[in-house]
Amino acid sequence: MTFRDTLSLALRNLGEAKLRTSLTTLGVSIGIASLAGMVSLGVGLQDQFVSRFTKSGLFDTITVTPGQDMPGGLATLARGGRRGFGTRRRAGPAAVSPDATPLRSDLNDNTIKELTAIDGVKEVYPNVRAPVEAKFGSDSEGMLAAGVPMSARDEGAFQSITFGRFFSDDGAAECLLSLEMAKRIDEANPQGLLGKDLVLVHAAPGSPSTQPPAGGPAAAMASRVDVPYRIVGILERETGPFGGTAAVSGLMIPLGRAKAIVAATRALTQALVPERANDRAYNTVIVKVKHPQFTQDVEDQIKKRGFSAFSLNDALQGAKRGFIILDIVLTLIGSIALTVSSLGIMNTMVMSILERTREIGIMKAIGGSDGDIRRIFLIEASAIGFFGGVTGVVLGWIVGRIINFGANVYIRNQGGTAGNLFSLPIWLIGGAIGFSVAISLIAGSYPAARAARLDPIRALRHD
C-alpha cells in the first residue's frame, strides 16, 4: 500500500467521523495553543528585555572607573564584577590585598589610547558631563550636558531620533534634547524647538585651561561665556539602568565641545581649589567592544590594569538564567493542556478502533497487512495532530494578540512603553506543529498497535 493511498484513506476515515475528529482536533489545538502561547510569551518577554538592553547600548559597553577605593556598594559591585566566591573577599578593606594589581586612577587621554589597544575594543571615550547653565528666553537652569561621541550617530538610542537629526560635527555648536527636556522648555510644541538656539553659559575654553586666571572666584566667573547652541534633534528617552554610552541625557552636546568645557571648568576649579589637581582627567571612561561576546574578556583585561570595570554582562547572564526558568515554567503550564489533549487523541483512537473493529477485520480479510492497518491509524492520529497544531498556532496567535492589546493599553495607561509581549518566530510555529504531530503519533501508537494485532476472525464477528 503506497503512502499516498494510506494518507487518503486515513483522511477519508477522519472525514467520516467529522464531529469526533473536529472535537479531538479542537482539544489538540487548545493544548498546542496554550503551549505555543506560553512559549511565545516567554520568548516575547525575553525579546523585549534584550532589545531594550541592546537599544540602550549597554550590551557591548564597559564602564571604567578609577581603581581606587570608592565608598558604597557601587565600588564593590564595579570591582567585583561577577558575583561569586571572590566578591566578598575582594570587597571592603580586604580588597587591597598584597598580591593585588596596583590600583590606578589615571583616567586621561593616554589611558584612553592604552585601553583602545586592547584586543576586541572598538572605541574608548570619556564619559563627559559638562556643567552648564542653559538659557532659553527668560528661563535658565543649571545642568550637566552629556558629551556624545560622533560614533554614537547610528547606535543605541540615536538610531532613531524622534525629531531632527544627529550632530553634524564634533565641534559644532549644536545640541540634542531629550523629549522630556524639550517638553519642559515648550510643553505645547516641543518639536517647534528644532532649529532654535539654546544658550549655554559655561567656562570659556581656550587659554584658561593652561593658565589659571589669577584673581580668585570673581575672575573665574568672569571667564564664562554665553554660546548659542542650535537645537538639531529631539529624542525620546530610552535609558538603561546605568548611565552608559548611548543613554540619553536631558541635554547632549558633541563630545569634543563637552571635553573642552570640562577642561576649562577644571582649570577654573584648580584655580579655586588647587589641591584637586591630579592626572585624573575623567571620572568615567566608556569602552565599547566590537561584539558583546568580547565584553567579559575586555572587562577582565581592564581590571588587570588596575581599574574598576563594570559591564551589564553579569546582570544579563543572571537575567538570561531567569528567562530560562521562566520558559520552563511556562512550558510546563502549557504541557498540562497538551497532555490532556494527547489523552484525548488516544481516547478518540481507541473509540474509533472499537467502532471500526469489523472494518479492520474486513481490511485484513481482503489483504491488508498488520503494517497497513497500523499505518492507517498512525496517519489518522498524526493528521489530527497536524490540523490541531496548525489551528492551535493560529488560536495561540489570536489569543496572544488580544492579550497583548489589552496589556499594552494597560501599560500605556501606566505610562510605560508598549511592546510586543508575545513573539511567534518561525521556529516556534514549526516546532509547535511538529511537536503536535509527534505527540499525536505517540498517543496514537498504542491504539494503532492494538488495531494491527486484532484477530481477523474475531474482528469479523464483531458488531
Contact residues for other proteins (CB under 8 A)? Answer: 1-2, 5, 9, 13, 16, 358-359, 361-372, 456-457, 460
Q: How far apart are CA 20 and CA 348, in angstroms?
A: 7
Which of 13/76 has CB closer to other proteins? Answer: 13
Long-range contacts of 280-284 (CB under 8 A, 24+ apart): 280/66, 280/105, 280/106, 280/107, 280/108, 281/107, 281/108, 281/109, 281/126, 282/107, 282/108, 282/126, 282/127, 282/128, 283/65, 283/66, 283/107, 283/127, 284/63, 284/64, 284/65, 284/107, 284/126, 284/127
Which of 273/366 has CB closer to other proteins? Answer: 366
Q: How far apart are CA 148 and CA 257, in angstroms?
A: 9
On the 0-12 / 13-18 / 19+ scale of CB atoms within 10 A, 342 is buried
Minimum gap (Å) between residue 443 Cβ and other proteins: 24
Which of 20/55 has CB closer to other proteins? Answer: 20
Which of 119/370 has CB closer to other proteins? Answer: 370
Minimum gap (Å) between residue 353 Cβ and other proteins: 15
Which of 10/200 has CB closer to other proteins? Answer: 10
Minimum gap (Å) between residue 385 Cβ and other proteins: 23
CB 307, CB 141: distance < 8 Å: no
Minimum gap (Å) between residue 434 Cβ and other proteins: 28
Which of 42/361 has CB closer to other proteins? Answer: 361
Which of 2/413 has CB closer to other proteins? Answer: 2
Residue 181, H or E segment: helix 179-185
Minimum gap (Å) between residue 448 Cβ and other proteins: 16
Minimum gap (Å) between residue 30 Cβ and other proteins: 28
Minimum gap (Å) between residue 23 Cβ and other proteins: 19
Which of 55/358 has CB closer to other proteins? Answer: 358
Minimum gap (Å) between residue 380 Cβ and other proteins: 14
Q: Which three cell numbers stand for residue 216?
A: 580668585
Long-range contacts of 4-11 (CB under 8 A, 24+ apart): 6/372, 6/375, 6/376, 6/379, 7/379, 7/383, 9/376, 10/376, 10/377, 10/379, 10/380, 10/383, 11/383
Give the count of alpha carbons within 13 A of 85, CB side only: 0
